[in-house]
Amino acid sequence: MFQSIEEVGEKLGEQSYVSDRRLATVVFLATRLGKPVLVEGPAGVGKTELAKSLAGALELDLIRLQCYEGLDEAKALYEWEYSKQLLYTQVLREKIGETLAPAESLREAAEVLRGQEDVFFSENFLVERPILQAIQADEPTVLLIDEIDRADEEFEAFLLEFLSDYQVSIPEIGTVRAARPPVVILTSNRTRELSEALKRRCLHLQIGYPSSEVELEIVRLKAPGISGALSEELVETIQDLRTLDLRKAPSIGETLDWAQSLVVLNAPKLSKDLIESTISVIAKYDRDAQRMLDHLGVNARERKDLGQMEPTGEKPEEAMYEMHRSVHKHVH
Ligand SMILES: Nc1ncnc2c1ncn2[C@@H]1O[C@H](COP(=O)(O)OP(=O)(O)O)[C@@H](O)[C@H]1O
Ligand SMILES: [Mg+2]
């Protein structure tokens, strides 16, 4: 485990994860206090990546549980392996005479059968899902419970026992407790409010969009092919676009995609042409793309002209002429 807050920052840095003192402190405390961390923030700000990098930094295995609507215990904790149980039933049926032969009375026969039933619901027939895997692992692991806000509230309630004691109750087997508790990271994109009970059991970490300095550092680490000047230009543009009222603001993921696209396209600088032709890399909705281009003063006027002409389609020659004119104007 980590010896200091500084060490957390350094080790995460070695995994190409850029952190600040606040994040490093929460992670340090979580590992020391044995508490789960609830990481909240918009999509694409490094919540999932934190869990992955932490596993790398601690040299522990990462076990991941992706949450979704309808996720239940059978997929998160354990499931009985019906097909194997069925097979066992067949064998049992063939052997039933032999098995029951020593029984002298009906009661004894019933006892013997009950003993067989226990075998059915033993660990032989249990399929371990991520949470049980983390509990039963010989070494501590990092358990990522990703996008918990996607799961139903009942599932959240089900997690409470696990999050406070690193144990779960399986009716047929009893309580199973982790000998080596995992480091648990829960993430939420905040599509809904999580329960007080869940929050109480976790240390809280809010991650927002990074400062220019941090984002530049991330680009330097994750998109090394891009020149310093171009990455500065790109990060500045992205930071500027985040101030707009967008349905989906560009996140760090988009910044990195854009940086990589520019490397692939061998772009020397961020020209208006280039912005226009690559805007779909950072804008996930048409309306957002429009707003971004308008804001950056890219071809805004011409685009509007074209947009108005297209639907009428009455005078194609004129439209073509207008289009040429605008392209011409745009190029020069
Ligand atoms: N602090 C960071 N240091 C390094 N890379 C980061 C950081 N934050 C985000 N990234 C990168 O940004 C992308 C999106 O991060 P991700 O963890 O998937 O976001 P989230 O889970 O918050 O939606 C990933 O490619 C990740 O590597
Ligand atoms: Mg994620």
Ligand 1 pocket check for 176: Cβ under 6 Å: no
Q: What is the pLDDT of residue 302?
A: 56
Looking at the CA of 216, name the nearest ligand: 1
Ligand 1 pocket check for 248: Cβ under 6 Å: no
When pLDDT is averaged across residues 78-96 and rounded to a whole number, the result is 80
| Reported confidence tier of residue 313, pLDDT bands at 50, 70, 90 | very low
Both tokens assigned to 136: 């039963």
Ligand 1 pocket check for 18: Cβ under 6 Å: yes
Atom of ligand 1 nearest to the CA of 16: 4
The Å distance, Cα 52 to ligand 1 centre, comes to 10
The answer, as to whether pTM is greater than 0.75, is yes
- Ion ligand 2: protein residues whose beta carbon lies under 5 Å: 48
Within 10 Å of residue 321's Cβ, how many Cβ atoms? 11
User: What pLDDT, in 10s, does the model give residues 210-263?
Assistant: 999 999 999 999 999 999 999 999 999 999 999 999 999 999 999 999 999 999
Ligand 1 pocket check for 253: Cβ under 6 Å: yes
Which residue puts its alpha carbon closest to atom 10 of ligand 1?
46
Angle at 46 between CA 41 and CA 52, to 5 degrees: 125
Helices and strands counted in the chain (H then E): 17, 9
| Reported confidence tier of residue 40, pLDDT bands at 50, 70, 90 | very high
Task: Report d(CA 71, CA 89) in Å as an integer.
Answer: 29
Task: Report d(CA 154, CA 70) in Å as an integer.
Answer: 10
Helix axes 5-14, 47-58, angle to 10 degrees: 100
The Å distance, Cα 44 to ligand 1 centre, comes to 6
Angle at 62 between CA 40 and CA 136, to 5 degrees: 110
Both tokens assigned to 252: 């760090």
Ligand 1 pocket check for 218: Cβ under 6 Å: yes
Ligand 1 pocket check for 47: Cβ under 6 Å: yes
Is it the case that residue 152 has pLDDT exceeding 80? yes
Which residue puts its alpha carbon closest to atom 6 of ligand 1?
46
Average pLDDT value for the chain? 89
Which residue puts its alpha carbon closest to atom 23 of ligand 1?
44
